[in-house]
Structure 1
Amino acid sequence: MLTVDYAARRSIVEPARLRRFFGARSIAVVGASPSSSWARNLLNSLELGGGVKDVRFVHPKYDEVFGKPTVPTLRDLTEPVDMAYIMVGSNRVDGILADAAAARIKNAVVLASGYGETGADGRDRQHRLARSAVEFDLTVMGPNTIGFINAVDGVAPWAVATETAPVAGPVGAVFESGSMARATYQFAQAHGVGSTLWASVGNSAVLTSLDVLDYLIEDDNTRAVALFLETVREPDRLFALGRKALEAGKPIVVYKAGRSEEGMRSAMAHTGAMATDDAVVDAAFRQAGMVRVESIEELVATAGVFGYSPRLPRGRRMGVVTSSGGGCNIIADLAAVNGLALPAWQQDTSARLAAHLPEFASVLNPLDTTGFGHARARPRPTKAEDDLMEIAVEDAGIDFMFSMMTPLPDERPADPAFIESRMGIIGEIVTAAPVPVFLSSNTCLDVSPYARSLLAQNDLFLLPGVDLAVTALGHVARWVEQRDALAAGTPDAADPPAAASAPAAGPAAGTWAEDEGRALLTAAGVPVVPARLVTSAAEAAAAAAEFGGPVAMKICSRAIAHKSDIGGVLLGVADADAAETAYGTILARVAREVPAADVRGVLVSPMREPGQELLVGVTVDATFGPVLAVGLGGVWVEVMKDTSLRVLPVDAREVRRMLAELKGAALLHGARGGRAADLDALSEAVVAISRAALSVGPGLDTLEVNPLRVNGDRVEALDVLVTTTAREDS
């Protein structure tokens, strides 16, 4: 297959180049025929955008197109243009790119399909296009793209139907799907979410979604980014851009296609069943400081609230004032689902609110103001929820305020004094409030141009419907926590923890015997319960006597991954005599269940006192590489499926965060009379296990310690499973 120099490709899509690309003021449309709906849509979009005054046409067969004269080729232009929009079949694109280079054009959009999405021939064609772009120093979007809309500058080479001028705003968006770019753009425009840039990268032969993301992070007008991904091509760069965005204070909201069960992979160990493809993607986005959402509507709403909110909440405590009792119930349910708290109003707030409510009213959070709405006339043009919200925002026990507004008029009323004065007062309340205030409509209604102007004039943003609103606010609260945690420091992916080589390597492909796995852990500094590998009944008795108490005995063989399944484990063996008998029992069981197994011996180790058991495992994800899973181990691993994931490497601080995420985290803090775990010692042990996994190199398939037992400050690995696989790069 043809290859493209990575550094050379990056040089033509760096943010400085993209500023010129997205700011093109003159465009040559190549191959547009009078009957082409794509061409008509493109011209309409350019006209609505208003920022491109110089549009020329190139066609070898027509003297004019849409009433404008043409030239046969780009080489025949009298002077260069900023961009060529190429609307020819894939078999002609390479020649057009050569013409563009000869005409000193530096930017091109390629509409044509028939590339990487069509099979081996199409992939070769796409690689040739990429090589040509690098050779000609051309920044190319596509192929198989509909283009982009730069709403700030009014540059809109967008080849699908649109009916209104683009609404400028603080949200930048990049899509790996043209149809979803179009649909989501329409949804955003209808709900008053304005954009800096809305881009469809198509097949990303040259310009990728991460290139556009990099540009948007550096763009001064963009405050939040919406990202629609079909796949993650450059995971290391994704993390780097996540860090860059955090440092710039720009939230990235991601919709990643593909949560289906078909995307889940299985592995021999428990870890592989928990570290499914989609769960790893979730973990990776969290580590990158990005917010993952479940729908394109959530994508727009969440990016919108980030983009339009000058202040973000400092916590999850939400105050609610609304004019609907039913709405209060809905909001309370949604708050619980999204991890938002609804604390009772503080005493002074309750007293102030009660003074304005009828005697039958309940002063609750969420607060239903319906009774107040009929209780008295107001001396200013407001509604009940406005006046009571102004009181409630002063409550010291909330981190932010949320109000579900009554509908705004679609058109300017004959007497607009009330609504326009009211919106001005709400804007003043929101600006003066000591906590951020978020507003939503009742349902996901379109925002009319008049309503949008009312909001914009008063620096207000209306979230689209209560369901999306509360969901988005849950995402906001989680992102703030991620930002603060990641700001405290994370390991440098370019400088992973040192990984010692195992003194006794296991097989290049297959299951390691447990003594080989134990040697691997020990070399990496993992505390491991002592054990002796014995090859006779007498040696078993001597080992049991040496440990001086009940022992555990386990078969040791590369052929047996799950020893207990075939009766290869005996626990609580009382003394030397019992150990001598147990040795024969174990070998007899193995001979019966796995007669061809190559047995290395039996491991004898001391029994340990009860403690909390964890599973710590590492599997290799096809995209992100080694992934660490930490969860409740022992019998709980199958019952609770309580696991936290991270892409390696990690440090002890990150492991502490993983432990805190577990539903069973209270057990580590001494719940129900248990002994609290030394979380520092536990975290260091987990880091050492990840170090052991990394030491295996590219052949690693799975490394699992189950259980890792912790009792106070004693942390020990009691069992380890390692599997490797032959890889091309191993």
Structure 2
Amino acid sequence: MSSLDYQDRRRLVTPERLHRFFGSRRIAVVGASDSSSWAVNLMGSLRHAGGHKELTFVHPKHNELFGQPTIPNLRDLDEPADMAFILVGPTRVEEILEDAAAAGVKNAVILAAGYGETGDDGRARQHGLAQLALGLDITIMGPNTIGFINAPAGVAPWAVATNRAPLRGPVGAVFESGSMARATHEFAQAHGVGSTLWASVGNSAVMTSLDILEYLLEDEATKSVALFLESVREPERLMELGRKSLELDKPIVAFKAGRSEEGKRSASAHTGAVATDDAVVDAAFRQAGIVRVESIEELVSTAALLGYHGRRPTGRRMGVVTSSGGGCNIIADLAVANGLELPPWDEKTVANLSEHLPPFASILNPLDTTGYGHARARPRPTKAEDDLMEIAVQDPGIDFMFTMMTPLPATRPDDPTFIESRLEILGDIVKNSPVPVFLSSNTCLDVPEYPQRLLASSGLFLMPGGDLAMSSLGSMMRWIDQRDRILARGKTAVRAGDDSAPAIEGAWAEDEGRALLASNGVPMVPAELVTTADDAAAAALRFDGAAAMKICSRAITHKSDVGGVVLGVDGSEAVHAAYERISTAVRRKVPDADLRGVLVSPMRTGGQELLVGITMDPTFGPVLAVGLGGIWVEILRDVSLRVLPVDAATVKDMLLELTAVSLLQGARGATPADVDAVSDVIVQIAQAALALGDRLETLEVNPLRVDGSVVEGLDVLVVTVGDKPAEQTGVPTDA
């Protein structure tokens, strides 16, 4: 992570400066040697890309490198280079940067490791490096980076071996791991996925992944972005950029490492960042309109699908035509797993397809073209799946079409007429289809250069295998759903902390928490705080029925554990006895507790109980959790999360996400919950939490009782901390 705050480094990483950085064509390579594999790889990448205009080697001890004369120092440049690619060790990097500044060089890529990833000494070294870059006005990528590839410009200061020129295409990619940047670029190249920029940020002393993300969102040639994150270090900015990507119709697809506890520890050790609960990351990405995927292959496949296909479905109804019966079975299973629908064909479609299939064919969706279909003579150079797909795309009941293509020839045949004509016709079918058409190969085998060129010349993109295709299509639909919901709602205002809230450090007594909620409009079950048994009996009488009685003390957060709760108390004698029982039990178990008294409330029965809790995540700030409450929260763990602030529509989405949502909808004859009323109350609870500002640690209403349109809190826990120093938190601007 950058050792500079955003405002300090902003002038070094604006999209305009990054445009010049990534467009560098006059490159000075400092510290290379003929025996260095890094230098050899760098030379190969630059040579294959072919777009640099001038390459200068800087070395004080070698007169010649890679067949070219050298200069001893950057200060000896006749005119400033656009960029210095620095291959020296960490102890010499700072002096090289000073030489670069003296020579008028404004950009540098730093390969050296030994910085923030190595502990306290390394972090101090990285901080000094960042401060030096700021003072010298030099934009640096790294340290500990392999560099970047700018395919459209043909510029590739990339210290990794390559064997071909980088493919141009619509995908921008940013990685917080050099090895993953290399591996995914090789995978992308092998499957015809072209890019605008492929970058490894390294330790991000100055330039971060989000700086490059912002640059890519403003780059006209970039249509989608693949983002590999090991940690989330600027959460608020990530959320803002997520919304911007939706407004620009440039999807962000993210792989976030560290789902398991072991993965989080590994990511933290690698980056030095605080590990964030993975469920919170999921929720934050969903709110930002960022699609999260489960593998680096899916990262490339999904970003490519969204980048190459600007025409997107309006729904999840998929038509499938393929030449494999087994493939139909696989696709059907994968479609269900990825939330895609397979409606039956319309009667007219069935009739039209029947004319081209044998009587024994089952005209289902997915459609198997059968071996007979392949054997029939065709009036044009096509295959059965091409012709049948051309018919099926007219079906009014589908939103998009998918087909798995039979393998294409690896090399140009002696007579290429059929295959080249076929791909041209297929391109026309896809272009003229009334619904989007998506293609994949049968398996995730590499696509050689000849079929890559054929596909590209016909305007076709081939997803790498049916499995990745189905997961990518499912991710595309999730992105479309998120985009539509988020943009329709606009931004949710962020509520500032309220200085009038009590300055309590630690747990609040329940009556104090109730007062906070009431001041924010949250309906609570009536309650009276009493300090004698007689007062308790009088309060219970006023409530006219069975009562609930609970100890009230800042020192006691789990009241039942100390005998501090008695429920269903009915009658004056029972109330007196319950009061004495609570007082005796609590004083025996917590003798030093400061007791404020006993809360007496009317008993409530029926309805459903929800948990509504807000806690402070170390990365994203206040996070709302909604789930089944009471005893069920520990048993079912059925909880939906969002980063605050939220609006009522977002809370409604959360409720509908719960596995046990049927209980709220009136299962087994129960009264259906007024979900709109529940959502409004939960928003009010969240507002009460936000009123505590940075002092919030926990605010929990459990249970929140819901009975039709009646919504009220039965118990509340509030925990606050002392005043915190001002720091950037992860409060997003939309929900």
Interval containing the TM-score (normalised by the shorter chain):
over 0.9
* Secondary structure in 2 matching 1:228: strand
How is 1:531-570 mapped onto 2 (pairs within 5 angstroms)? 531-570=527-566
Cα shift readout 1:486-513 (whole Å, capped 9, x = no counterpart): 1112434xx41365556655x402x222
Q: For residue 445 of structure 1, what is the aligned residue in structure 2? A: 445
Indicate conservation of the 8 Å contact 2:543/2:601, yes or no.
yes
TM-score by length of 2: 0.94
Q: What residue identity is the alignment partner of 2:704?
A: L
Cα shift readout 1:69-111 (whole Å, capped 9, x = no counterpart): 1111011111111111111111111111111111111111111
Q: For residue 665 of structure 2, what is the aligned residue in structure 1? A: 669
Q: For residue 606 of structure 2, what is the aligned residue in structure 1? A: 610
Aligned equivalents of 1:546 and 1:591: distance in 2?
28
Q: How far off its partner does 1:720 sit?
A: 0.9
Pair 504,725 (structure 1): closer, same or farther in 2 beyond 3 Å: closer
How is 1:646-657 mapped onto 2 (pairs within 5 angstroms)? 646-657=642-653
Aligned equivalents of 1:617 and 1:491: distance in 2?
22
Indicate conservation of the 8 Å contact 2:86/2:109, yes or no.
yes
Aligned equivalents of 1:590 and 1:346: distance in 2?
71
Q: For residue 513 of structure 1, what is the aligned residue in structure 2? A: 509
Indicate conservation of the 8 Å contact 1:302/1:473, yes or no.
yes
Pair 554,74 (structure 1): closer, same or farther in 2 beyond 3 Å: same
Q: For residue 261 of structure 2, what is the aligned residue in structure 1? A: 261
Q: Structure 1 residue 118 and structure 2 residue 114: aligned?
A: no
* Secondary structure in 2 matching 1:530: coil
Q: For residue 396 of structure 1, what is the aligned residue in structure 2? A: 396
Q: Which of the numbers 605, 608, 616 marks the counterpart of 1:620?
A: 616
Q: For residue 640 of structure 1, what is the aligned residue in structure 2? A: 636
Indicate conservation of the 8 Å contact 2:254/2:291, yes or no.
yes
Pair 189,313 (structure 1): closer, same or farther in 2 beyond 3 Å: same
* Secondary structure in 1 matching 2:691: helix
Q: What is the CA RMSD across the aligned residues, in angstroms?
A: 2.0
Cα shift readout 1:430-476 (whole Å, capped 9, x = no counterpart): 11111111111111010110110111011111000111110000000
Aligned equivalents of 1:229 and 1:27: distance in 2?
28
Q: For residue 432 of structure 1, what is the aligned residue in structure 2? A: 432
Pair 503,244 (structure 1): closer, same or farther in 2 beyond 3 Å: closer
Q: For residue 270 of structure 1, what is the aligned residue in structure 2? A: none
- Quote the sequence identity (%): 68
Cα shift readout 1:309-368 (whole Å, capped 9, x = no counterpart): 121111111111111111111111111211111122222222322333222222211112
Aligned equivalents of 1:628 and 1:377: distance in 2?
62
Aligned equivalents of 1:262 and 1:696: distance in 2?
33
Aligned equivalents of 1:654 and 1:221: distance in 2?
33
Aligned equivalents of 1:113 and 1:47: distance in 2?
25
TM-score by length of 1: 0.95
Q: For residue 268 of structure 2, what is the aligned residue in structure 1? A: none
Q: What residue identity is the alignment partner of 2:508?
A: W
Q: For residue 571 of structure 1, what is the aligned residue in structure 2? A: 567
Indicate conservation of the 8 Å contact 2:496/2:693, yes or no.
no
* Secondary structure in 1 matching 2:700: strand
Pair 704,478 (structure 1): closer, same or farther in 2 beyond 3 Å: same
Aligned equivalents of 2:81 and 2:543: distance in 1?
83
Q: How far off its partner does 1:246 sit?
A: 1.1
Q: How far off its partner does 1:708 sit?
A: 0.9
Q: How far off its partner does 1:694 sit?
A: 1.5
Uncovered stretches (5+) of structure 2, i.e. residues with no partner: 266-274, 727-735
Cα shift readout 1:144-190 (whole Å, capped 9, x = no counterpart): 11110000110000111111110111000011111111111101101
Aligned equivalents of 1:3 and 1:261: distance in 2?
26
Q: What residue identity is the alignment partner of 1:514?
A: E
Aligned equivalents of 1:377 and 1:437: distance in 2?
25
Q: Structure 1 residue 497 and structure 2 residue 495: aligned?
A: yes
Q: What residue identity is the alignment partner of 1:549?
A: G
Q: For residue 694 of structure 2, what is the aligned residue in structure 1? A: 698
Q: For residue 729 of structure 2, what is the aligned residue in structure 1? A: none
Q: For residue 225 of structure 1, what is the aligned residue in structure 2? A: 225
* Secondary structure in 2 matching 1:90: coil
How is 1:583-594 mapped onto 2 (pairs within 5 angstroms)? 583-594=579-590
Aligned equivalents of 1:544 and 1:327: distance in 2?
69
Aligned equivalents of 1:142 and 1:667: distance in 2?
52
Aligned equivalents of 1:69 and 1:264: distance in 2?
48
Q: How far off its partner does 1:374 sit?
A: 4.8
* Secondary structure in 2 matching 1:169: strand
Q: What residue identity is the alignment partner of 2:650?
A: E
Q: How far off its partner does 1:558 sit?
A: 2.4
Q: How far off its partner does 1:244 sit?
A: 1.3
Q: What residue identity is the alignment partner of 2:681?
A: A
Aligned equivalents of 2:722 and 2:189: distance in 1?
51
Number of residue-to-residue matches in the alignment:
717
Indicate conservation of the 8 Å contact 2:2/2:203, yes or no.
no
Pair 490,402 (structure 1): closer, same or farther in 2 beyond 3 Å: same
Q: How far off its partner does 1:17 sit?
A: 0.6
Q: Structure 1 residue 682 and structure 2 residue 678: aligned?
A: yes
Cα shift readout 1:121-165 (whole Å, capped 9, x = no counterpart): 211111111111111111111111111000011000011111111
Aligned equivalents of 2:611 and 2:204: distance in 1?
40
Q: How far off its partner does 1:664 sit?
A: 2.6
Q: What residue identity is the alignment partner of 2:495?
A: P
Aligned equivalents of 1:230 and 1:444: distance in 2?
26
Indicate conservation of the 8 Å contact 2:276/2:619, yes or no.
no
Aligned equivalents of 2:313 and 2:329: distance in 1?
22
Q: Which of the numbers 718, 725, 732 marks the counterpart of 1:729?
A: 725
Q: For residue 328 of structure 1, what is the aligned residue in structure 2? A: 328
* Secondary structure in 1 matching 2:56: strand
Indicate conservation of the 8 Å contact 1:503/1:519, yes or no.
no
Indicate conservation of the 8 Å contact 2:276/2:618, yes or no.
no
Q: What residue identity is the alignment partner of 2:149?
A: I
Aligned equivalents of 2:453 and 2:439: distance in 1?
16
Aligned equivalents of 2:120 and 2:550: distance in 1?
51
* Secondary structure in 1 matching 2:91: helix
Indicate conservation of the 8 Å contact 1:31/1:59, yes or no.
yes
Q: How far off its partner does 1:588 sit?
A: 3.2
Indicate conservation of the 8 Å contact 1:356/1:372, yes or no.
no
Cα shift readout 1:571-623 (whole Å, capped 9, x = no counterpart): 22223332222222223333444444433222111122411221110011110
Aligned equivalents of 1:721 and 1:628: distance in 2?
14
Aligned equivalents of 1:118 and 1:349: distance in 2?
64
Q: For residue 287 of structure 2, what is the aligned residue in structure 1? A: 287
Aligned equivalents of 1:95 and 1:195: distance in 2?
34
Indicate conservation of the 8 Å contact 1:500/1:524, yes or no.
no
Q: How far off its partner does 1:377 sit?
A: 2.5
Aligned equivalents of 2:240 and 2:576: distance in 1?
57
Q: What residue identity is the alignment partner of 2:280?
A: V
Pair 311,134 (structure 1): closer, same or farther in 2 beyond 3 Å: same
Aligned equivalents of 1:328 and 1:594: distance in 2?
66
* Secondary structure in 2 matching 1:339: coil
* Secondary structure in 1 matching 2:717: strand
Q: How far off its partner does 1:5 sit?
A: 5.5
Aligned equivalents of 2:67 and 2:578: distance in 1?
95
Q: For residue 713 of structure 1, what is the aligned residue in structure 2? A: 709
Q: What residue identity is the alignment partner of 1:410?
A: A
Aligned equivalents of 1:504 and 1:67: distance in 2?
74
Where has structure 1 moved over 6 Å in runs of 4 or more?
A: none
Aligned equivalents of 1:114 and 1:528: distance in 2?
56
Aligned equivalents of 1:575 and 1:343: distance in 2?
62
